[in-house]
Chain A
Amino acid sequence: MPTYLAFGLRIAAERSLPGLVPFDGEGVDVYVALAPTSSDHGYEPPGIPDCRVIREDGGVISVQYSDGVAFTIRSDGGAVAGRWSPPQTVDDAICYLVGPILRTVLRLRGVPTLHGSAVALDGNAIAVVGPSGAGKSTLAAALVKAGGVLVTDDTVTLARSGHEFRILPGYCGLRLWPDVAPTVCAHEQLDPITPTWNKRFLRVTGRQFRREASALRGVYVLSGRKRLETHLVEPLDGPAAFIALAANMGVTYVDGRDLRAENFVTLADLVERVPVRCVTPVDDLSGAASLAELILEDARRLPAGD
């Protein structure tokens, strides 16, 4: 059974999981089973699939997407079973698995996450977060092209080491929309991800991918607004920073009182210890390269982590 290491988790899966780093060490933290189902869910809305989350008997979490892909997750995050039905494919199931489902597993195992990407500079990492479609992965690709080292796409862990926040290496690639991908890479570098989703996969390997944990040096929040002429990167402090990060926390649907209280403490600590910036780019991310340079220039002035 292939095993992978992502976000500090040793993941054993019955199928190959593209985008995760193979692991040949001992021990398993999460078992993943994936299988097709013949049931016809009969409904597929356009756009981003809706998601229904149910806590079943014994604490098992059931996550059902309206495109027919579904998962059950053991309450301790130690096992995941996924299924799909046509026209979805195993690739669609894997796409959910390495994104929101692994974020759910991490949360159940006590590791909060942000929905975003992370790039390392001189051994420390900056996180890029923001709403869906804001351009997080495109910006991360531009940061890598400008000399950064990818730590992860889609999921940023907020693991703790004493007072320090550490980002654990995860997804070793970037998922890019084909219309903006040419601004950050060559067309032939892109692979399809699923037959039902237009995004393309840019694999990041070798020295461009960081396999060690990185101290979090700064968080850049992509705002939903756009500017006409110049990119803007400005400090975000206090409650505005807190709430911006809260809005980008991963999989809060599993949070009851205790996890919400934990998140509150984590975010308060994060805002006090890590600089947060609000990023308002020009109207489209064809200017990703110039935005990446602006962010790198700002990030290099931030205090370095330990």
Chain B
Amino acid sequence: MAVTLGDSVECGEDVLFKEINGEAVLLHLEVGEYFALDPVGTRIWTLIRERGGQVGAVLAGVVAEFDVTPDEAERDLLALLEQLLAAKLLRLAGPSSG
């Protein structure tokens, strides 16, 4: 099922995160795979933690902080979240309460 703006996501419990020079490395401890996030992806990961994982709120943060149209931001954000969900770095926490 595709993630939507009405969903919430949360960081996987088996995931380690380290920010390095504005980018980040993630490790899934059970799978043993490493992932890299560019500066925008790193900021999105941080927004997820700051905004309770609510996808709509994360999108608002991206639009406010980056020079991007809302449509492009939504498309790119949802695509990134799908990748992170597929890699089990994130999991769906259910529909947003807000």
Residues of A within 8 A of B (CB): 237-240, 242-243, 246, 252, 255, 257, 260-261, 264, 268, 271-272
- Known contacts A239-B37, A240-B36, A246-B34; is-contact A261 B21 (Cβ 8 Å): no
Which B residues touch A240, using CB under 8 A? 36
- Known contacts A260-B29, A268-B25; is-contact A243 B34 (Cβ 8 Å): yes
Let me know if B21 and A260 touch, CB within 8 A: no
B18 at interface, CB cutoff 8 A: yes
23 contacts between A and B (CB under 8 A): A237-B20, A238-B21, A238-B22, A239-B20, A239-B23, A239-B36, A239-B37, A240-B36, A242-B18, A243-B25, A243-B34, A252-B32, A257-B14, A257-B30, A260-B27, A260-B29, A260-B32, A261-B16, A261-B29, A264-B16, A264-B18, A264-B25, A268-B25
B85 at interface, CB cutoff 8 A: no
- With both chains docked as a complex, state the minimum distance between the C-beta of B41 and any C-beta of chain A, in angstroms: 10
Chain A's closest residue to B22 (CB) is A238
Let me know if B16 and A239 touch, CB within 8 A: no
Contact partner of A255 among B14, B22, B24, B32, CB < 8 A? B32
- With both chains docked as a complex, state the minimum distance between the C-beta of A173 and any C-beta of chain B, in angstroms: 33
Which B residues touch A264, using CB under 8 A? 16, 18, 25, 27
Which B residues touch A255, using CB under 8 A? 32
What's the count of A-B pairs with C-beta under 8 Å?
42
Contact partner of B20 among A238, A252, A260, A261, CB < 8 A? A238
Q: Given A238-B20, A268-B20, A271-B20, output 15 extra A-B contacts at Cβ < 8 Å.
A: A237-B21, A239-B20, A239-B23, A239-B24, A242-B18, A242-B25, A242-B34, A243-B25, A257-B14, A257-B30, A260-B32, A261-B16, A261-B27, A261-B29, A264-B25
Contact partner of B18 among A237, A260, A268, CB < 8 A? A268
- With both chains docked as a complex, state the minimum distance between the C-beta of B58 and any C-beta of chain A, in angstroms: 21
- With both chains docked as a complex, state the minimum distance between the C-beta of B52 and any C-beta of chain A, in angstroms: 26
Residues of B within 8 A of A (CB): 14, 16, 18, 20-25, 27, 29-30, 32, 34, 36-37
Give the interface SS of chain B, mostly helix, strand, loop or mixed.
strand
Which A residues touch B16, using CB under 8 A? 261, 264
Assembly CA distance A246 to B37 (angstroms): 16
Assembly CA distance A239 to B34 (angstroms): 10
Assembly CA distance A79 to B31 (angstroms): 29
- With both chains docked as a complex, state the minimum distance between the C-beta of B7 and any C-beta of chain A, in angstroms: 27
Q: Which 3 A-B pairs have the closest CB atoms?
A: A239-B36, A238-B21, A238-B20
Q: Which of A238, A239, A252 has the most CB of B within 10 A?
A: A239
Q: Which of B21, B24, B32, B36 has the most CB of A within 10 A?
A: B32
Which B residues touch A246, using CB under 8 A? 34
Let me know if B25 and A257 touch, CB within 8 A: no
Q: Which of A237, A243, A264 has the most CB of B within 10 A?
A: A264
Assembly CA distance A260 to B22 (angstroms): 23
- With both chains docked as a complex, state the minimum distance between the C-beta of B90 and any C-beta of chain A, in angstroms: 18
Assembly CA distance A252 to B21 (angstroms): 26
- With both chains docked as a complex, state the minimum distance between the C-beta of A144 and any C-beta of chain B, in angstroms: 32
Which A residues touch B14, using CB under 8 A? 257
Which B residues touch A261, using CB under 8 A? 16, 27, 29
Which A residues touch B29, using CB under 8 A? 257, 260-261
Which B residues touch A242, using CB under 8 A? 18, 20, 25, 34, 36
Which B residues touch A271, using CB under 8 A? 20
Assembly CA distance A257 to B30 (angstroms): 6
Assembly CA distance A139 to B37 (angstroms): 32
Chain B's closest residue to A246 (CB) is B34
Chain B's closest residue to A267 (CB) is B25
- With both chains docked as a complex, state the minimum distance between the C-beta of A121 and any C-beta of chain B, in angstroms: 26
